[in-house]
Structure 1
Amino acid sequence: MSLVQLDDYGPWTVTPEPRPEPALQALQSRLYADLADFVGSRDGYVFPGRFDNMVAVTNRIAPSEHQRFQELVRHQYPVTASVGVGTGGTPAAALGAATEALQSTGSAQDADRTERLATACEREPTGPLSVAHFDVVDATGQYTDSQHAFDAERRIRRAAVELADQMRDHGAVTSFVGGDNAISVCPRLPQRAYDDVLEGVREAVGVEMRVGVGTGETAQLAGREAKHALETGRATGEWVTAAAEAGGDD
């Protein structure tokens, strides 16, 4: 897992005076799109996080390769980016290692911290990873076409936060990815774990979700299997559908 953090971003937004918020949003969106293209072209996944802090699943991408993205940011933007890369037994542990590695180089607000590349990779990732693609059941009918737009957004985002909390207990890193979808990068879990998570979200916020699970050597391969599994679940009405190789019935 990789943590991409903009350097000295907060002070830049108010120097020499506070910059218009639409301009900041546009810059964040372009930067995220560039990172998504960079990691995506190397079979990884990117989550926007807080935009000034973005998370990437970077199995099979050498840590040194991140320097290419840092160069792109330096040449095209008025800010620079530092990156922490970590491995671990679970995605959450790997992101924790990446976070600690980057934090050890100095604060994100330090003016002299520029383009750091910090690694905490105890070993090269060798096994497949799992991706779980969650989808709100009938979001269009229940929320988009029947509720105030703001209320619909709040309900779905609350479900995504609750989902992320519950999947975190299983060592997963989960992100809301727009619309009514959330994606978890997770260890291999038995189907009963997903059943419990879906029930927990339903009880906490009253939102029903469905999930497809896939595995692969890279995030994109696993994500592709997860999306196919999700479509199968929609067709069959199953709440949890795992691609054959995901081992979801263990």
Structure 2
Amino acid sequence: MTNTQVTLVQVDNYGPWTVTPEPRREVDLQTLQSRLYADLSQLFGNREGYVFFTRFDNMIAVTNGLDREAHALIQESVANRYPVTVSLGVATDPSPAAALGDATNQLQAAGSAQDEDRTQILGGGFLAGADRTDADVQIAHFDVIDATGKYTDKLNAFDSFIRIEQGYAELMRHMRRAHDSLSFFVGGDNVIAVCPELTPAAYRDAIDHVAGEVDVDLQVGVGRARTAQDAGMRAKHALEECRHEGTAVEFGDGSHY
């Protein structure tokens, strides 16, 4: 059974800040958002976690192994580097989607995201060391089969982007609705999904669903480990096996489907 610890990262009072004392230039806001994501990626990554940008003012991290003190240090680092602060809600559940729901509730219960008095909240529960196992996190790394040949080298860049985004959007919806998984576009033609304990048949079903709905062909490598980064690396190696063997689904334990 998986046991995924999820952290919701929410920038405090971000909307009002962007227009106070007057609207800020969009280029400056985009720069701040991208730099904040890059720093958070490193801060969580240095502790074996993953963070995904989603809407930038809200980011989602998989944080198995990070305790309350580690989260507080990340908040402190952001406050020291940026004109904004972040609040963090944390929860653990076999279902990543359920964990995110609980983490979200922690912040919503503390006040609105645009409440200037709700700052640097750190709420929720943390997975105790004694409860951790080597199978807590399941990561699936999807990519589009021959995206370069089908899209990048044949279509203009924007139309290629549309096709990749269509595949991502349909996969994201399906994995959320059918399997309580959280899927994130991570650049190029790659999507990383944080999943509960799913069978090879579930991944095959997801691939078939996306192909049937939007005519985008996917393959996936799946990894399981104690932390997000270890699971992610196993998934990446499994995906390489897909490419080498011409298979649709590969697990990090060497099984293929």
Relative to the length of structure 1, the TM-score reads: 0.95
The answer to whether the 8 Å contact 2:65/2:127 transfers is no
Write the letter of the residue equivalent to 2:152.
T
Residues 1:112 and 2:121 aligned together: no
Aligned to 1:97: 102
Post-superposition offset of 1:155? 1.2
Bigger mean CA deviation after superposition, 161-170 or 219-228: 161-170
Aligned to 1:196: 205
The answer to whether the 8 Å contact 1:101/1:120 transfers is no
The answer to whether the 8 Å contact 1:97/1:120 transfers is no
SS at match of 1:188: coil
1:27 counterpart (27, 32, 50): 32
The answer to whether the 8 Å contact 2:64/2:127 transfers is no
Deviations 1:38-58 (A, max 9, x none): 110111111011000000000
Residues 1:138 and 2:157 aligned together: no
Post-superposition offset of 1:123? 6.3
Write the letter of the residue equivalent to 1:194.
Y
**Relative to structure 1, is the Cα distance of residues 103 and 64 closer, same or farther in structure 2, using a 3 angstrom cutoff?**
farther
Question: RMSD across aligned C-alpha pairs, in angstroms?
Answer: 1.5
Q: Structure 2 stretches of 5 or more lacking a match?
A: 1-5
Deviations 1:77-101 (A, max 9, x none): 1111100001112111111111111
Residues 1:235 and 2:244 aligned together: yes
The answer to whether the 8 Å contact 1:189/1:248 transfers is no
Aligned to 1:173: 182
Post-superposition offset of 1:120? 4.0
**Relative to structure 1, is the Cα distance of residues 18 and 95 closer, same or farther in structure 2, using a 3 angstrom cutoff?**
same
Matches within 5 A, 1:1-250: 1-121=6-126, 126-127=132-133, 128=135, 129-168=137-176, 169-244=178-253
The answer to whether the 8 Å contact 1:87/1:123 transfers is no
Post-superposition offset of 1:154? 1.2
Higher relative contact order, structure no. (Cα contacts within 8 Å, ≥ 6 residues apart): 2
Write the letter of the residue equivalent to 1:107.
S
Post-superposition offset of 1:208? 0.2
Post-superposition offset of 1:248? 7.4
Q: Structure 1 stretches of 5 or more lacking a match?
A: none
The answer to whether the 8 Å contact 1:171/1:186 transfers is yes
SS at match of 1:174: strand
SS at match of 1:104: helix
Deviations 1:80-128 (A, max 9, x none): 1100001112111111111111111100000111111111458665232
Deviations 1:190-239 (A, max 9, x none): 11111110000001111001000011000011111100000011000000
Post-superposition offset of 1:241? 0.7
The answer to whether the 8 Å contact 1:130/1:216 transfers is yes
How many residues matched? 248
Cα distance in structure 2, aligned partners of 1:64 and 1:239: 41
The answer to whether the 8 Å contact 1:132/1:212 transfers is yes
Post-superposition offset of 1:63? 2.6
Cα distance in structure 1, aligned partners of 2:112 and 2:125: 17
Runs of 4+ in 1 over 3 A off after TM superposition: 120-125
Cα distance in structure 2, aligned partners of 1:210 and 1:77: 39
Cα distance in structure 2, aligned partners of 1:49 and 1:23: 19
Cα distance in structure 1, aligned partners of 2:143 and 2:209: 15
Write the letter of the residue equivalent to 1:126.
R
